[in-house]
Amino acid sequence: MPSRERFGMLLREHQARILDYPLHPGPLAVSAVPGSGKTQTLALLAAELIVDGHLGNDATRNAEVLVVTLQNSAVDQISARIRGILSGEKLPPVGFRVSTLHKLAGDILRQRQDLAGVDDTFAIVDEAESRRQMQAAASVWKTEHLAWWESFLPEGTTQERTKHAQKWDDETQAVGLAISKLSKHLRLGAEEVRSLLDRAGLDETEQASQWLRMGIDLYARYTNYLRVGARLDFDDLIWRAMDALEQDPAFVANLQLRWPFILEDEAQDSSPLQEKILRQLAGRQGRWVRVGDPNQAINSTFTSADPRFFRAYMERPDVERLPLVESGRSGLPIIGLANRLVDWVCSQHPDLTVRKATFERQEIKPTQPGDKQVNPSADECHVYLRARPYDSVEDEVEQVAKSAAAYAGRYPERTLAILCPSGWQGSQVLKACDEVKPTPPVDDLLNSTPKTRDVARTLYAVCRYLAAPMNGNHLAALYKVLADADREVGSPSVDAKVIRARQAVLRSLSPAHMLFPVQPGSIRDLLPPAVPLDNDADRSFGVFVSLVRHWVRASDLAIDQLLLTVAQDLFEDEGDLAVCHLIASSLGSAALMHPQWRLAEFEDELRQIASNRRSLGGLGLLDTGFSPQPGRIAVTTMHKAKGLEWDAVYIVCAATDEFPDAPDDAYRDELYFLPGCAPKVEATKALERIAYQHLPQDQAADLLLQQDALERTPLESARLEYISERLRLLYVGITRARRDLSITWSHHRNARRPLRWPLALQALEAYAREQQAEQDR
């Protein structure tokens, strides 16, 4: 019987088995369910390896447990837990390293820049900048192929054509980005992809191959832009890191000595290439623990990851497999619903491929009594799946908003969220919440968190002033922003009238005189004697002037360094500083590719972030320190909700356009003016197929999924994968709820095809009814 306690914590049975790992180290796969305490388990395992001396005694080797995860917030969480455990054991925080895979790849490159072909000034462009560069590439390419490009636009009024062109522009860029990503995943440069295409002998009259050619052209151009700026994007990082590892066995051996144990989190989201990197690092000894939930893989259509890789890994004979299936998060009705979803899809979904590819058969089990986290009792739980659709989205969200507001009123100590399957429903939900009287407190988490926007707003006000430092209005506006946000110069408790009066003073004087006075003195000295100023004004102005003067002097620094300087002056909270760093590095990335940009252009970027029109690429909610607050309605997408939990969850617009039953339902990848055509999907699939058929086996085998039997068209195949992913998304949505769950749907005007209630939800509704009947008995 494995021991049940470690480091002062009572372990669940499966956790205890996992902690036995050091006794028989080797490749291990842990299949975890939502809410099963993955993070805690990993931290415990890492600490155990360190404390029990499994790293060996050679202090100079500096061996560490390597923990690899997906997001920065996870890095912080796990680090903090390990540190906590070690400190409890009176040990220094050494012997472990927690990193995202991208940072790990970056480190590998930095250690052997010669193998990677980069010099030490290489830097990464973030997703936002990647998109900008692809946009530029697409716009140039378009002008060179205008006739062909425009041939896809239907006839219509000028206004219509402009709208179509906009959409087609977006799709063109999407094709470029997708082909670029896939090519880099396959480690092929643009020329190599082209020759692959030639070898495959595609029918060039087919639209799919034309789109693929376009994608390759865009890839080539995009690569060029990055290369000239000596920048790498995230996919390059992974590619070059793998290259570096393959070239020098001694280098790999060294890294293996340094990291004798590798613990991988969110393994279901690892792309095959990323998996290869970790496999190299794990070496023949293979002390590699992969933890993941294949049923929560919701990023596969954005990346080359697919849960089937992890599932295949779990099946390997040399891999030990342990489950982590106890979860104390949700009440039994919710757990039952989630399990039923998996069961139904695996045995009863009409499509064979979907049955096999979507879920791993695995059940969530409640925790034992006496566990630290006991499941909410079943009679506190309510599940509502509405069979009848609302007539319109507006009706649906209005009802949901009212219901949520009422819930928040009735249970002020509970947390709740409204989850949207796609982003576009979000704004309608927000509007509906706004219209409920009295207006409930709402957190808009669609693009970013309030904190991110708050920080961005402050930085925007600073930047706006620095871009035109002679402008007294901007200076006064900056003053108010700082005062409102409680940043040194004032606090929200100060009367608004007082702030306005001070602003008037600031507006009345020239910034030059205030910040660089000819004679030393305070602002009061510059005013005519009779102007009334409140008592604290002198101090406040003094602080303000000194801060702003400092920033004016710094304004010739590179933008990221300027923002860091400002950040250090204004923010103390860790979360705020973290956001500042992210913003600074995102803008720094842009600056490198746009040497012409000055403060005015960066001001614009900051405004976009502050007004929620742009998100900072690749950030999760947790990265910016968000956590659910009781009594506040969180509005976000189902994707962003992963990893979080609320007492009550409302899922809206759950119709077949969001959760398709069959390929025909998944029409949203089509261009609405080109029915039946989905360029991005078709081009990507075409490349996948060609690669699978024509690349040498050892190059393709572990990078691509085994291709479907050829009865399916590429579009169909892609759509089936999409169907699977959306079902997993539904699973994620359901498992966010602790007690209460509501799933509704509606017809909407803009749907291009008639909507139906998804079969999966029908099945779940039937199940819920049965359970209710049983309980009533």
Partner 1 sequence: MPAWRLPLSDDYTAEQRSAIDYPRDGGESLLLRGPAGTGKSTALVARLANLLREGCRPSEILVLAPQRSWVDRFDQAIAQLDAPVRGGVDIVTYYGLARREVGLFWPLVADSAGFAHPEREPVFLTIETAQYYMWQIVEPLLREEGYFSDLVVRRGRLLSQLIDNLNKAALVGFDYTTLHARLSEAWSGSPDHTTRYVQAQDCAIRFREHCLAHNLLDFSLVTEVYSRHLLPHAVYQRYFRAHYRHLLVDNLEENVPVAHDLVSWIIGPDSAGGYASAVVALDEGGGYRLFLGADPATAESVSALCHDTLEMRAPLERTQNALALAATLTRALGMPAAPVPDGGSARDAVLEQFSGKYWISMVRWAARRCAALVHDGADPSDIAILAPYVSDVMQFAIAEECRAAGIPLQLLRPSAELHTDPVIRGVLVLALLAHPTWEIQIGAGPASSASAYVIAQQDVALALQTAIHNLDPIRARLLAGDALPLGERALKDLTSASPDETTAIAEAAKRAQLWEEVGYQVREAYQILYAWLADYAATGDPEPFDLFLARMFGDVLSTPGFAFHAAPEGARTYGRLVESARKFREAVEDQPGLASRVDDLGREYIQLILSGIASAEYAADRPQHLPGGVILAPAYTYLTRDLHSRYQFWLDVGSDGWTNRPYQPLTQPYVLSRGWPIGKLWTDVEEETSKRENLVRVLGGLAARCSGGVYLAHSQLGIGGEEQSGRLARAVLAALSRKDQRDA
Q: Which one of 468, 543, 700, 763 is in contact with partner 1 (CB under 8 A)?
A: 468
Residue 291 CB, nearest approach to partner 1 (Å):
21
**Contact (Cβ atoms closer than 8 angstroms) between residue 574 and residue 607:** no
SS3 417: strand
Q: Which one of 513, 539, 613, 752 is in contact with partner 1 (CB under 8 A)?
A: 513
Distance CA 329, CA 292 (A): 17
Q: Is 384 in the site for partner 1 (CB under 8 A)?
A: no
DSSP for 340-405 reads: HHHHHHHHH-S-HHHHHHS------BPPPTT-SSPPPPGGG-EEEE--SPBSSHHHHHHHHHHHHH
Residue 265 CB, nearest approach to partner 1 (Å):
16
Distance CA 197, CA 726 (A): 31
Residues touching partner 1, count (CB under 8 A) = 84
**Contact (Cβ atoms closer than 8 angstroms) between residue 232 and residue 127:** no
Q: Which one of 230, 387, 406, 701 is in contact with partner 1 (CB under 8 A)?
A: 230
For residues 197 to 226, the per-residue mask of contacts with partner 1, x marking binding by CB under 8 A and - elsewhere, is ------------------------x---xx
Q: Which one of 515, 591, 761, 764 is in contact with partner 1 (CB under 8 A)?
A: 515
Task: Considering only residues 646 through 665, tell me which ones interact with partner 1, judged by CB under 8 A.
Answer: none
Residue 574, token pair as written in the block: 């860790």
- Minimum CB distance to partner 1 smaller for 61 or for 372: 61
SS3 sequence of 637-695? EHHHHCCCCEEEEEECCCCCCCCCCCHHHCHHHCECCECCCCHHHHHHHHHHHHHHHHC
Distance CA 77, CA 79 (A): 6
- Minimum CB distance to partner 1 smaller for 192 or for 320: 192
Q: Which one of 568, 611, 693, 772 is in contact with partner 1 (CB under 8 A)?
A: 568
Residue 574 CB, nearest approach to partner 1 (Å):
7
Residue of 84, 54, 768, 37 whose CA lies nearest to 386: 768
DSSP for 66-90 reads: EEEESSHHHHHHHHHHHHHHHHHTT
Q: Which one of 24, 90, 388, 749 is in contact with partner 1 (CB under 8 A)?
A: 90
Q: Is 55 in the site for partner 1 (CB under 8 A)?
A: no
Residue 195 CB, nearest approach to partner 1 (Å):
15
Residue 248, token pair as written in the block: 């020098």
For residues 103 to 132, the per-residue mask of contacts with partner 1, x marking binding by CB under 8 A and - elsewhere, is x--x---xxxxxx-xxxxxxx---------
Distance CA 133, CA 235 (A): 15
Residue 460 CB, nearest approach to partner 1 (Å):
18
Residue 536, token pair as written in the block: 């604290």
- Minimum CB distance to partner 1 smaller for 97 or for 287: 97
- Minimum CB distance to partner 1 smaller for 470 or for 531: 470
Q: Find the part of the chain contacting partner 1 (CB under 8 A) among 60-68, 303-311, 410-418, 618-626.
A: 60-68
Residue 624 CB, nearest approach to partner 1 (Å):
13
- Minimum CB distance to partner 1 smaller for 432 or for 582: 582
Q: Which one of 346, 577, 677, 763 is in contact with partner 1 (CB under 8 A)?
A: 577
DSSP 306: -
Q: Is 59 in the site for partner 1 (CB under 8 A)?
A: yes
- Minimum CB distance to partner 1 smaller for 118 or for 683: 118
The owner of tokens 């005013």 is: 527
Q: What is the residue type of 161?
A: R
Task: Considering only residues 135 through 154, tell me which ones interact with partner 1, judged by CB under 8 A.
Answer: 136-137, 140
For residues 404 to 433, the per-residue mask of contacts with partner 1, x marking binding by CB under 8 A and - elsewhere, is ------------------------------
Query: Angle CA(255)–CA(259)–CA(261) in degrees, nearest 5?
Result: 140
**Contact (Cβ atoms closer than 8 angstroms) between residue 241 and residue 234:** no
- Minimum CB distance to partner 1 smaller for 228 or for 352: 228
Q: Is 518 in the site for partner 1 (CB under 8 A)?
A: yes
Residue 59 CB, nearest approach to partner 1 (Å):
6
Q: Is 528 in the site for partner 1 (CB under 8 A)?
A: no
Distance CA 538, CA 546 (A): 12
Q: Find the part of the chain contacting partner 1 (CB under 8 A) among 366-374, 565-573, 731-739, 762-770.
A: 565-573
Task: Considering only residues 320 through 349, tell me which ones interact with partner 1, judged by CB under 8 A.
Answer: none
Residue 380, token pair as written in the block: 């506190």
The pairing of beta strand 9-10 with beta strand 96-100: unpaired
Distance CA 438, CA 414 (A): 18
Residue 290 CB, nearest approach to partner 1 (Å):
22
- Minimum CB distance to partner 1 smaller for 533 or for 552: 552
Residue of 731, 726, 741, 721 whose CA lies nearest to 678: 721
Q: Find the part of the chain contacting partner 1 (CB under 8 A) among 365-373, 374-382, 455-463, 505-513.
A: 505-513
Task: Considering only residues 63 through 82, tell me which ones interact with partner 1, judged by CB under 8 A.
Answer: 75
DSSP 124: E
Query: Angle CA(730)–CA(736)–CA(740) in degrees, nearest 5?
Result: 100
- Minimum CB distance to partner 1 smaller for 347 or for 596: 596
Task: Considering only residues 537 through 556, tell me which ones interact with partner 1, judged by CB under 8 A.
Answer: 550, 552-556
SS3 sequence of 597-623? CCHHHHHHHHHHHHCCCCCCCCCCCHH
For residues 685 to 724, the per-residue mask of contacts with partner 1, x marking binding by CB under 8 A and - elsewhere, is ----------------------------------------
Q: Is 353 in the site for partner 1 (CB under 8 A)?
A: no
Residue 487, φ and ψ in degrees, nearest 5: -105, 85
- Minimum CB distance to partner 1 smaller for 249 or for 441: 249
Residue 506 CB, nearest approach to partner 1 (Å):
14
Q: Which one of 470, 496, 504, 701 is in contact with partner 1 (CB under 8 A)?
A: 470
Task: Considering only residues 581 through 610, tell me which ones interact with partner 1, judged by CB under 8 A.
Answer: 581-582, 585, 588, 594-596, 598-599
Distance CA 750, CA 62 (A): 60
Residue 554 CB, nearest approach to partner 1 (Å):
6
CB count in 10 Å sphere of residue 430: 18
- Minimum CB distance to partner 1 smaller for 99 or for 422: 99
**Contact (Cβ atoms closer than 8 angstroms) between residue 343 and residue 748:** no
Distance CA 378, CA 765 (A): 17
The owner of tokens 């207006």 is: 439
Of the CA atoms within 13 Å of residue 713, those in its CB half-sphere come to 12
For residues 235 to 264, the per-residue mask of contacts with partner 1, x marking binding by CB under 8 A and - elsewhere, is -x------x--xxx-xx-xx----------
Residue 240 CB, nearest approach to partner 1 (Å):
8
Q: Which one of 2, 283, 469, 542 is in contact with partner 1 (CB under 8 A)?
A: 469
Residue 470 CB, nearest approach to partner 1 (Å):
5
Q: Is 506 in the site for partner 1 (CB under 8 A)?
A: no
The pairing of beta strand 288-292 with beta strand 96-100: unpaired
Residue 118 CB, nearest approach to partner 1 (Å):
5
Distance CA 345, CA 727 (A): 8
Q: Which one of 81, 231, 457, 728 is in contact with partner 1 (CB under 8 A)?
A: 231
